[in-house]
Structure 1
Amino acid sequence: MKKHLIPAAVLTLVMLVFFTVIYPMAVWGIAQFSPNWGKGEIIEHEGRHHYANIGHSFIRDDYFWSRPSAVDYNAGGSGGSNKGPSNEEYLASVQARIDTFLLHNPGIDKSQIPVDLITASGSGLDPHISIQAAEVQVARVARERNLPEDTVSELVASQTEKPLLGIFGPARINVLKLNLALDNLSE
């Protein structure tokens, strides 16, 4: 018995020190080489600070809409809805999002709505939407802001973030940055 208890106790202590001291210090050290020292990307606009790494709620017609959030964009408690695709309540909320989107975007067919505009991400804090999700909103935003659609499309293209190292993940658009650029364009 002693033959098994001593190695188990030693392994427990080593793992305790590793995961509570060494690993967090290594992650902190690596973060010191990142922009803003690992505190996220902070954008100041009109005297307010916004975190570009956290999703924000945009629901006005003159802005590009964000991906829905199951946690109402509360960074203090991220998480998904945990409801499966056969859950009636979940299906009703997705259908309500589809109906709302179609109401505010006349001329768009249900099949043209990208999934990221009607389903929440796993964290509920995703700050990005797909290029398709931005492009399907161009007509509404251009109409509401009295701008040519080509101008708004060019803005979407200029705000597109390429995949990490050109290969990891899809191209995407940060909704906060896009909407702030849209405000600057309209001024």
Structure 2
Amino acid sequence: MLKGIAVRALAVFAFFSVICGVVYTLVITGIAQAVFPYQANGSIIEVDGKQYGSELIGQQFNDMDHMWGRIQNLSVVESPDGELAVYSGASNKTPASDYTDEETVEAFGESFEDAVATRVEMIKEANPDADMDKVPVDLVTSSGSGLDPHISLAAAEYQIPRLAETTGKSEDEIRTIIEAATTHKLLGIFGEDVVNVLEVNLMLEGILDC
């Protein structure tokens, strides 16, 4: 009797393993590939066969000709076959982790306050003609994941004078590009207007159209 129960239990286990682990997965994957192929494959921005990154994952830009995003704790590596791989190392520094003693600084690096102050000075130095008195907070802090591809409209507009000077485009042209890369509030109510930094930079380079 116990043997019969064990056989039936194993049969049920095998049946649901196949249904839930194989059939369900294949069906959902097939539907995703058929209905949402772009999203299902990582929302990769590809132009003329070249992949430039995912619109869902930020990249680090620090040169004067490009828009800067949030602090990115990641590395984007292109493999020999052209595929992109992303390695993340998100920071856990917060205002609660501030410290000043030399032993702690040596062990853990600069504190959150020092890191933000350093970043503020760097942003101000790179954008001396910015039209705002204060640096938008998202330009001097990282997101929880360290992967955020977006910045606020304020952070994007802060960089317009620099981009106009370094790219040769007018400020109105830069604003048109920013608008094209902006995702607005859901239903005009929920969330915030955010700007995709990678899309802006690809438009600045003429790789993407506005």
State the SS of the aligned residue for 2:88. coil
Which of 153, 156, 160 pairs up with 1:131? 153
Q: Are 2:170 and 1:148 equivalent residues in the alignment?
A: yes
State the SS of the aligned residue for 1:113. coil
Does 73-82 or 124-133 show the bigger shift? 73-82
Pairs within 5 Å for 1:79-90: 80-88=90-98, 89-90=111-112
State the SS of the aligned residue for 1:96. helix
Task: State the TM-score, normalizing by the size of structure 2.
Answer: 0.68
Q: Which residue of 2 aligns with 1:34?
A: 36
Which of 58, 69, 72 pairs up with 1:69? 72
Q: Output the CA distance in 2 between the equivalents of 1:63 and 1:170.
A: 23
Q: Output the CA distance in 2 between the equivalents of 1:73 and 1:84.
A: 25
Q: Given that residues 98 and 110 in structure 1 are in contact (C-alpha distance below 8 angstroms), is that contact kept between their aligned partners in structure 2?
A: no
Shift of 1:55: 0.6
Q: Structure 1: any 5+ residue segments left out of the alignment?
A: 1-12
Q: Output the CA distance in 1 between the equivalents of 2:22 and 2:186.
A: 30
Pairs within 5 Å for 1:94-173: 94-108=116-130, 111-173=133-195
Q: Given that residues 102 and 109 in structure 1 are in contact (C-alpha distance below 8 angstroms), is that contact kept between their aligned partners in structure 2?
A: no
Q: Given that residues 184 and 193 in structure 2 are in contact (C-alpha distance below 8 angstroms), is that contact kept between their aligned partners in structure 1?
A: yes
Q: Are 2:61 and 1:58 equivalent residues in the alignment?
A: yes
Q: Output the CA distance in 1 between the equivalents of 2:192 and 2:94.
A: 25
Q: Output the CA distance in 1 between the equivalents of 2:181 and 2:138.
A: 18
Task: State the TM-score, normalizing by the size of structure 1.
Answer: 0.75
Shift of 1:107: 3.3
Q: Given that residues 66 and 128 in structure 1 are in contact (C-alpha distance below 8 angstroms), is that contact kept between their aligned partners in structure 2?
A: yes
Percent identity of paired positions between Structure 1 and Structure 2 = 39
Shift of 1:125: 0.8
Q: Output the CA distance in 2 between the equivalents of 1:23 and 1:132.
A: 44
Shift of 1:26: 7.9
The verdict on how the C-alpha distance between 1:35 and 1:130 changes in structure 2, with shifts beyond 3 A counting, is farther
Shift of 1:162: 1.7
Q: Output the CA distance in 2 between the equivalents of 1:109 and 1:95.
A: 20
Shift of 1:140: 0.3
Shift of 1:135: 0.4
Q: Given that residues 132 and 158 in structure 2 are in contact (C-alpha distance below 8 angstroms), is that contact kept between their aligned partners in structure 1?
A: no
Q: Output the CA distance in 2 between the equivalents of 1:109 and 1:44.
A: 34
Q: Structure 2: any 5+ residue segments left out of the alignment?
A: 1-12, 78-84, 99-110
Q: If each structure's strand is expressed as a fraction of its own residues, which one has the higher value?
A: 2
Q: Output the CA distance in 2 between the equivalents of 1:125 and 1:55.
A: 5
Shift of 1:149: 1.3
The verdict on how the C-alpha distance between 1:34 and 1:142 changes in structure 2, with shifts beyond 3 A counting, is same
State the SS of the aligned residue for 2:46. strand
Q: Output the CA distance in 1 between the equivalents of 2:200 and 2:175.
A: 11
Question: Number of matched residues?
Answer: 174
Q: Which residue of 2 aligns with 1:5?
A: none
Which is higher, the Rg of structure 1 or of structure 2?
2
